[in-house]
């Protein structure tokens, strides 16, 4: 930019401070330009960006009034208050003096010490009186008072003779304080000097476009709009926003809805019956120990007897051609209340709900995306709450390849192009599948979750019909972490407002 362009770009505030740049103290610039300090500092920054000046920031220590100091400036120092009292009474005993001066023990002691040391007051038979020279001292300001009057002052520029006064005051409670301040020194550069020498007619430059101006073209015709520095750095703003985890969840839900799935929801608090027994998890399975699962002392009620008996039979001796787990099933164990460890219990309840329909109508595609709980400590890769993306497809004619089809499509839309399926084991599915996705940056196959076809020991008691039920329940937190490049699981629930404000939007659609 040439000089002219620069002049055109100067804002009214910049123009206002321009004539006062040679002032040493910002406070003076404020006074002369009639601007507050923030505006002056900002205008200085802009002038610096435009190459007119250099700014040097120096940290300085400033001595100023402390909390008590401010109070004393109003009411007088304790020794002044005591001196005034003595001056008025001429003679007064100790107790009376403290009572009437309303000084604390400590203040009273210090005040007497100070007045005696200055030879203003004498003690005679437990009474306080003015000393011979006191009459003179009583009316004059003390060194302390003079020093306090001079505040604030730069620590380095305290006059030699006042150093001791300052030290004494510093020992007393909160009368003075030292604060650090940053002082700005302005150095005018050549370009600045050149512009200072120009005659600038800032009346002719238009700042804001005003409603009057639009009505009345005389207000702008023939004048120039001040040129903005459109590259000047600005303070950041932020807007209202969904939590980033919920943005991801909304997206995943949308995928399932688009694929023709109906949403299912259910309670977090459930009986072990729904979380474990109905899903053919033997009662001595380790997941049913307190070590792994959150229990609540209150027992739950079991659903209707026909279903309970059928589940009991599936466990004890098998059902529909199965051998079962061969042990004595205990209804008390099934009544234990837990926080669901997987949303699969919602699928179990949905199947039971379908069993009330006529047999041909017992089909459909359902999903849920919700929270689950496990008794776990919290660190960067563990937590006691986690999301699961759950789904079932209930249909006479579905098979294992269809299961893989739905999963591959879901993960493709979640951004995982390359995935593969491996055999695995769950008590409730057979065949069972583990899904792994290729991570192109980390160059590893990482585990996304499990799936399978519900065992007949589940389908028959719950649905009343032995047909294939494709089922999956996959951890969702890792997908969220991967998308937002979060390394520590705890960050998902940290609610750091700065992080929430700065986290990018979920941009998949």
Partner 1 sequence: MANIKLNKKQFEKEIGKLDEKMQEKISLFGTPIGAITDEEVELEVFPNRPDLLSYYGFKRAFLAYLGKKTGLKKYKVNSPKKDYTVRIDSSVKDVRPFTACAIVSGLKLTSEGIKDMIDLQERLHATIGRKRKKMAIGIYPLEEIKLPITYMAFEPDKIKFMPLGAEKEMSGLEILEKHPVGKEYAPLLSGKSKFPIFIDSQKNILSMPPVINSALTGRVTEKTTSVFVECSGFDFESLKKCLNIIVTSLAEMGGEIYQMELEYDKSKKQITPDLSTTKEKISLENTNKLIGIKIDERSLKNLLEKMGYEYSKGFVEVPAWRTDILHEVDLIEDVAVAYGYDNLIPEIPEVATNGEEQRSEVIKRKIAEILVGTNMLETSNYHLTNQKTQFILMGFKEKSQPDCIKIESSKTDYNILRTDLSHYALKVLSENLDKEYPQRLFEIGKVFTSKSKSEEEHLAISISPGNFTELKQTLDYLFKMLNLNIEVKEPDKVPLHFIKGRVGEIILKVKDERNKEKSKPIGFVGEIHPEILKNWKIRMPVALLEINLEEIFEEVQ
Smallest distance, partner 1 to C-beta of residue 483, A = 16
Does residue 147 touch partner 1 according to CB under 8 A? Answer: no
262-263 and 364-373 beta bridge pairing:
parallel
Smallest distance, partner 1 to C-beta of residue 70, A = 21
Owner of token pair 């003015």:
130
Does residue 225 touch partner 1 according to CB under 8 A? Answer: no
- CA 124, CA 270: separation in Å to the nearest integer? 86
- CA 450, CA 404: separation in Å to the nearest integer? 11
For partner 1, the closer of residues 150 and 238 by Cβ is: 238
Q: Do residues 478 and 219 touch, judged by C-beta distance below 8 A?
A: no
Instruction: State which of positions 466-495 bind partner 1 (CB under 8 A).
Output: 468, 492-493, 495
Interface residue with partner 1 among 455, 469, 479, 506 (CB under 8 A) is 455
Does residue 121 touch partner 1 according to CB under 8 A? Answer: no
Instruction: State which of positions 272-301 bind partner 1 (CB under 8 A).
Output: 284, 286, 290, 294-298
For partner 1, the closer of residues 25 and 258 by Cβ is: 258
Comparing CA positions, the residue from 396, 383, 465, 392 lying closest to residue 429 is 392
Smallest distance, partner 1 to C-beta of residue 244, A = 9
Does residue 318 touch partner 1 according to CB under 8 A? Answer: yes
Query: Per DSSP, what are the bridge partners of residue 447?
Result: 436
Q: How far apart are the first and last CA of the chain?
A: 44
* Total site size for partner 1, rule CB under 8 A: 88
Does residue 398 touch partner 1 according to CB under 8 A? Answer: yes
Does residue 233 touch partner 1 according to CB under 8 A? Answer: no
Interface residue with partner 1 among 51, 303, 364, 475 (CB under 8 A) is 364
Close Cβ partners of 329 (under 8 Å, ≥ 6 residues apart): 277, 283, 311, 312, 315, 316
- CA 66, CA 79: separation in Å to the nearest integer? 17
- CA 12, CA 206: separation in Å to the nearest integer? 9
Interface residue with partner 1 among 46, 147, 166, 256 (CB under 8 A) is 256
Smallest distance, partner 1 to C-beta of residue 57, A = 22
Applying CB under 8 A, which part among 104-112, 196-204, 253-261, 348-356 lies near partner 1?
A: 253-261
Smallest distance, partner 1 to C-beta of residue 371, A = 7
Close Cβ partners of 413 (under 8 Å, ≥ 6 residues apart): 255, 508
- CA 267, CA 265: separation in Å to the nearest integer? 7
Applying CB under 8 A, which part among 8-16, 27-35, 164-172, 416-424 lies near partner 1?
A: 416-424
- CA 46, CA 43: separation in Å to the nearest integer? 5
Does residue 373 touch partner 1 according to CB under 8 A? Answer: yes
Does residue 400 touch partner 1 according to CB under 8 A? Answer: yes
Smallest distance, partner 1 to C-beta of residue 123, A = 46
Applying CB under 8 A, which part among 4-12, 40-48, 120-128, 498-506 lies near partner 1?
A: 498-506
For partner 1, the closer of residues 136 and 493 by Cβ is: 493
Close Cβ partners of 376 (under 8 Å, ≥ 6 residues apart): 382, 383, 384
Output the 3-class SS for 411-479: HHHCCCCCEEEEECCECCEEEEEEEEEEECCCCEEEEEEEEEEECHHHHHHHHCCCCCEEEEEEECHHH
Smallest distance, partner 1 to C-beta of residue 46, A = 23
For partner 1, the closer of residues 80 and 342 by Cβ is: 342
Does residue 12 touch partner 1 according to CB under 8 A? Answer: no
Applying CB under 8 A, which part among 73-81, 113-121, 155-163, 449-457 lies near partner 1?
A: 449-457
For partner 1, the closer of residues 51 and 427 by Cβ is: 427
The full DSSP string for 301-365 is PP--HHHHHHHHHHHHT-STT-----S---HHHHH-EEE-SSTHHHHHHHHHHHTTS-GGG--EE
Smallest distance, partner 1 to C-beta of residue 229, A = 25
Interface residue with partner 1 among 8, 355, 404, 491 (CB under 8 A) is 404
Interface residue with partner 1 among 63, 433, 462, 489 (CB under 8 A) is 433
Smallest distance, partner 1 to C-beta of residue 170, A = 28
Does residue 333 touch partner 1 according to CB under 8 A? Answer: no
Does residue 377 touch partner 1 according to CB under 8 A? Answer: yes
| Phi, psi values for residue 283, rounded to 5° | -70, -15
């Amino acid at each position: 930019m040439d000089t002219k362009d620069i002049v055109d770009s100067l804002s009214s505030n910049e123009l206002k401070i321009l004539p006062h740049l040679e002032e040493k103290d910002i406070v003076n610039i404020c006074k002369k330009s009639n601007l507050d300090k923030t505006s002056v500092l900002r205008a200085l920054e802009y002038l610096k960006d435009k190459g007119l000046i250099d700014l040097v920031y120096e940290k300085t220590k400033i001595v100023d009034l402390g909390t008590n100091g401010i109070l004393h400036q109003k009411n007088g120092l304790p020794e002044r208050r005591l001196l005034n009292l003595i001056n008025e009474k001429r003679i007064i005993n100790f107790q009376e003096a403290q009572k009437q001066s309303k000084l604390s023990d400590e203040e009273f002691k210090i005040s007497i010490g100070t007045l005696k040391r200055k030879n203003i007051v004498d003690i005679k038979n437990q009474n306080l009186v003015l000393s011979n020279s006191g009459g003179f001292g009583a009316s004059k300001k003390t060194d302390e008072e003079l020093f306090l009057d001079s505040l604030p002052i730069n620590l380095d520029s305290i006059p030699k003779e006042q150093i001791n006064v300052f030290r004494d005051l510093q020992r007393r409670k909160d009368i003075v304080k030292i604060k650090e301040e940053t002082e700005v020194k302005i150095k005018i550069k050549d370009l600045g000097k050149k512009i200072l020498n120009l005659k600038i007619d800032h009346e002719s430059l238009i700042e804001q476009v005003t409603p009057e101006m639009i009505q009345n073209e005389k207000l702008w015709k023939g004048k120039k709009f001040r040129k903005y520095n459109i590259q000047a750095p600005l303070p950041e703003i932020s807007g209202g926003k969904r939590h980033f985890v919920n943005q991801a969840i909304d997206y995943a839900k949308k995928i399932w809805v688009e694929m023709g799935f109906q949403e299912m929801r259910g309670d977090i608090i459930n009986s072990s019956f729904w979380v474990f027994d109905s899903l053919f998890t033997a009662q001595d399975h380790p997941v049913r120990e307190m070590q792994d699962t959150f229990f609540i002392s209150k027992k739950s009620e079991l659903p209707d007897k026909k279903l309970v008996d059928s589940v009991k039979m599936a466990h004890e001796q098998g059902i529909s051609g199965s051998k079962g787990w061969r042990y004595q099933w205990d209804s008390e164990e099934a009544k234990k209340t837990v926080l669901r460890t997987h949303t699969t219990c919602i699928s179990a309840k949905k199947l039971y709900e379908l069993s009330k329909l006529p047999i041909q109508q017992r089909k459909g595609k359902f999903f849920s995306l919700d929270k689950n709980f496990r008794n776990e400590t919290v660190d960067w890769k563990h937590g006691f709450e986690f999301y699961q993306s759950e789904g079932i497809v209930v249909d006479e004619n579905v098979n294992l390849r269809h299961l893989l089809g739905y999963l591959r499509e879901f993960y493709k839309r979640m951004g995982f192009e390359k995935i593969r399926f491996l055999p695995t084991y769950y008590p409730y599915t057979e065949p069972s599948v583990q899904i792994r996705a290729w991570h192109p940056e980390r160059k590893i196959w990482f585990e996304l979750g499990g799936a399978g076809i519900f065992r007949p020991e589940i389908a028959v008691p719950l649905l009343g019909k032995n047909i294939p039920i494709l089922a999956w329940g996959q951890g969702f937190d890792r997908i969220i972490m991967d998308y937002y490049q979060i390394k520590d699981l705890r960050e998902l629930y940290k609610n750091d407002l700065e992080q929430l404000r700065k986290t990018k939007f979920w941009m998949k659609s």
